[in-house]
């Protein structure tokens, strides 16, 4: 840090004091000398603390110059009571982080220096994380290119390019989930439940089948941005975050979008992930969107995420939490109604038909799914209610033969199953 004051005795005393904390201190008895030191050593200076009243250039003018040339340094202006009004007027021009008055207690000064240096370190760490996110996005693009080659080799027997594209997307999602499981296993495990509930809520909201599938994928990887946060943040309970840690944590939806934006098939999902911590009342993050300005898919994922967090705390179906949300303002009121319907009657989307389990190799065109179909790693592939065509059945049978499906048995609506299968 750099300490600037025309009282050289004070400079020497504060230097001795800060050595107790292992702080490297540069001192200057004038603003002009401070600028000379910064020209040669500015990259290593995390904070500049300057007295306001000095011969020649005053402290406010010095910190204004520091902001222009070395903007990363935390800037603190010290002043006596006689200069307080003039110094206060100069604060906005220099974008000073803090204004302190003389005299100060030694422990107060040590704490001030520690906080200023911590602020500088946090700034540098946030920049490093942004650069890391960009690097990870570049790696994802490289991995995706490699995955496309592998997908083409493994799915040559599939009948259409669309099936190949779907398999590539599943592989990409599987890799992302593997990364998340290794880094934050408890969140990755809950993401599968969030994906399933998000899909059911999307069905109840009347979204198209293809959008429902993509909402489920987004639910699986909605927390992927956590990979860009340091371990100390991930290990903390959010209830115990400092302000700086909370601001850093609240960047994870942005990091998630950045990671997915290099994969063409995931760009839209990345946008949904960016906004899954917005609130209906506009008090969420990162962009403080409100109401219908929040993408419907993001609102669905947010509600599913909030619900399972409440279940983890409250147990059961989190009835107390659900009742409280009607007045809390965090979630779309219409979606809260759909959540209540889903929890109370979870199988109400395909009607009241009886159902039957049918092996994949015995499926017939015209059968309607009575339950979703997942890949072996839990990625959604088809939703309940979809009518099976000959093409869809062929793709399912190819995937089953390759061991890609979660189960070789499919649940269909029993009323339209012909022959003996309907009696099973």
Between helices 267-274 and 296-314, what is the axis angle to 10°? Answer: 50
- Give bridge partners of residue 411 from the DSSP assignment: 357
- How many residues would you count in the chain? 424
CA distance 152 to 185: 31
- Fold entry, domain 355-423: Molybdopterin biosynthesis moea protein, domain 2 (3.90.105)
What local confidence, expressed as pLDDT, does residue 278 receive?
96
- At 86, the pLDDT band (50, 70, 90 cuts) reads low
Q: List pLDDT tens digits, range 271-328.
A: 999 999 999 999 999 999 999 999 999 999 999 999 998 988 888 888 889 889 988 9
What local confidence, expressed as pLDDT, does residue 159 receive?
45
Query: Which of 94-103, 308-317, 361-370 is least confident?
Result: 94-103
Q: What is the DSSP string of 258-327?
A: HHHTTSGGGHHHHHHHHTTT--TTS--SSS---GGGS-HHHHHHHHHHHHHHHHHHH-TT-HHHHHHHHH
Q: Is the pLDDT of residue 415 over 50?
A: no
Q: Is the pLDDT of residue 421 over 60?
A: no
Q: Is the pLDDT of residue 419 over 50?
A: no
**Closest by alpha carbon to 167, among 145, 151, 178, 188?**
151
Tokens representing 341 are 């319907």
What local confidence, expressed as pLDDT, does residue 398 receive?
83
- Cα distance from N-terminal residue to C-terminal residue, the chain: 78
Average pLDDT over residues 191-212: 89
What is the domain partition of the chain in residue ranges? 2-104, 134-344, 355-423
What local confidence, expressed as pLDDT, does residue 331 receive?
95
The answer to whether domain 134-344 and domain 355-423 are alike in fold is: no
Q: Is the pLDDT of residue 424 over 50?
A: no
What local confidence, expressed as pLDDT, does residue 399 receive?
82
What local confidence, expressed as pLDDT, does residue 152 receive?
64
Determine the CATH number of domain 134-344.
1.10.3210.10
CA distance 281 to 283: 6
Position with higher pLDDT, 353 vs 367: 367
What local confidence, expressed as pLDDT, does residue 304 receive?
95
381's enclosing H/E stretch is strand 380-382
Which of 66-80, 97-111, 342-356, 381-395 ranks highest by mean pLDDT? 66-80
What local confidence, expressed as pLDDT, does residue 91 receive?
67
Q: Is the pLDDT of residue 90 over 70?
A: no
Q: Is the pLDDT of residue 348 over 50?
A: no
CA distance 252 to 274: 8
What local confidence, expressed as pLDDT, does residue 284 receive?
94
**Closest by alpha carbon to 212, among 418, 419, 22, 383?**
383
- Give bridge partners of residue 51 from the DSSP assignment: 78
Query: Which of 120-124, 150-154, 228-232, 233-237 is least confident?
Result: 150-154
User: How many CB atoms sit inside 10 A of residue 420's CB?
Assistant: 8
**Closest by alpha carbon to 14, among 81, 109, 108, 101?**
109
Q: Could you tell me the maximum CA-CA distance found in the chain, to the nearest angstrom?
A: 100
What local confidence, expressed as pLDDT, does residue 269 receive?
92
CA distance 167 to 163: 6
Which of 59-73, 137-151, 187-201, 271-285 ranks highest by mean pLDDT? 271-285
**Closest by alpha carbon to 257, among 272, 236, 237, 242?**
272
Q: Is the pLDDT of residue 251 over 90?
A: yes
DSSP state, 225?
A: G
Q: Is the pLDDT of residue 232 over 80?
A: yes
- Give bridge partners of residue 98 from the DSSP assignment: 76
Q: Is the pLDDT of residue 349 over 90?
A: no
Position with higher pLDDT, 306 vs 376: 306
CB distance 260 to 267 below 8 Å: yes
Q: Is the pLDDT of residue 422 over 50?
A: no
**In the CATH hierarchy, which top-level class contains the domain 2-104?**
alpha beta
Reduced to 3 states (helix: H, G, I; strand: E, B; else coil), residue 22 is: coil
What local confidence, expressed as pLDDT, does residue 101 receive?
78
CB distance 262 to 242 below 8 Å: no
Q: Is the pLDDT of residue 204 over 70?
A: yes
Average pLDDT over residues 336-363: 74
Q: List pLDDT tens digits, range 186-198.
A: 777 788 889 989 9
CB distance 163 to 171 below 8 Å: no
């Amino acid at each position: 840090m750099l300490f600037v004051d025309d009282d050289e005795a004070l400079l020497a005393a504060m230097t001795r004091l800060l050595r107790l904390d292992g702080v490297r201190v540069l001192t200057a008895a004038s603003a002009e000398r401070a600028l000379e030191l910064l020209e040669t050593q500015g990259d290593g200076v995390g904070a500049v603390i300057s007295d306001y009243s000095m011969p020649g250039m005053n402290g406010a003018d010095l910190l204004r110059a520091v902001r222009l040339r070395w903007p990363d340094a935390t800037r603190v202006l010290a002043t006596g009571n006689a200069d307080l009004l003039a110094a206060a007027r100069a604060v906005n021009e220099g974008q000073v982080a803090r204004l302190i008055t003389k005299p100060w207690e030694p422990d107060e000064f040590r704490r001030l220096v520690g906080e200023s240096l911590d602020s500088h370190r946090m700034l540098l760490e946030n920049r490093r994380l942004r650069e890391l996110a960009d690097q990870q996005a570049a790696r994802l693009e490289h991995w995706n290119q490699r995955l496309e080659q592998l997908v083409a080799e493994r799915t040559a027997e599939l009948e259409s390019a669309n099936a190949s594209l779907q398999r590539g997307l599943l592989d990409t999602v599987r890799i992302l989930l593997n990364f998340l499981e290794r880094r934050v296993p408890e969140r990755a495990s809950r993401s599968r439940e969030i994906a399933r509930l998000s899909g059911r809520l999307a069905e109840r909201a009347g979204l198209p089948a293809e959008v429902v599938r993509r909402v489920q994928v987004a639910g699986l990887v909605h927390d992927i941005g956590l990979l860009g946060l340091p371990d100390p943040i991930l290990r903390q309970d959010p209830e115990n975050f400092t302000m700086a840690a909370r601001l850093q944590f609240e960047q994870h939806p942005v990091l998630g979008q950045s990671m997915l934006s290099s994969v063409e098939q995931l760009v839209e999902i990345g946008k949904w992930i960016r906004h899954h911590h917005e609130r209906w009342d506009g008090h969420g993050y990162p962009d403080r969107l409100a109401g219908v300005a929040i993408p419907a898919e993001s609102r669905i994922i947010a509600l599913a995420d909030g619900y399972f967090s409440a279940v983890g705390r409250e147990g059961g179906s989190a009835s107390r939490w659900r009742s409280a949300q009607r007045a809390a303002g965090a979630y779309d009121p219409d979606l809260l109604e759909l959540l209540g319907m889903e929890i109370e009657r979870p199988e109400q989307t395909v009607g009241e038909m009886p159902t039957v389990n049918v092996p994949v190799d015995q499926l017939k065109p015209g059968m309607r799914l009575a339950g979703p179909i997942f890949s072996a790693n839990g990625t959604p592939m088809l939703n309940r209610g979809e009518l099976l065509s000959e093409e869809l059945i062929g793709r399912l049978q190819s995937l089953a033969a390759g061991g890609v499906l979660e189960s070789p048995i499919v649940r269909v609506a029993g009323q339209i199953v012909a022959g003996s299968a309907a009696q099973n």
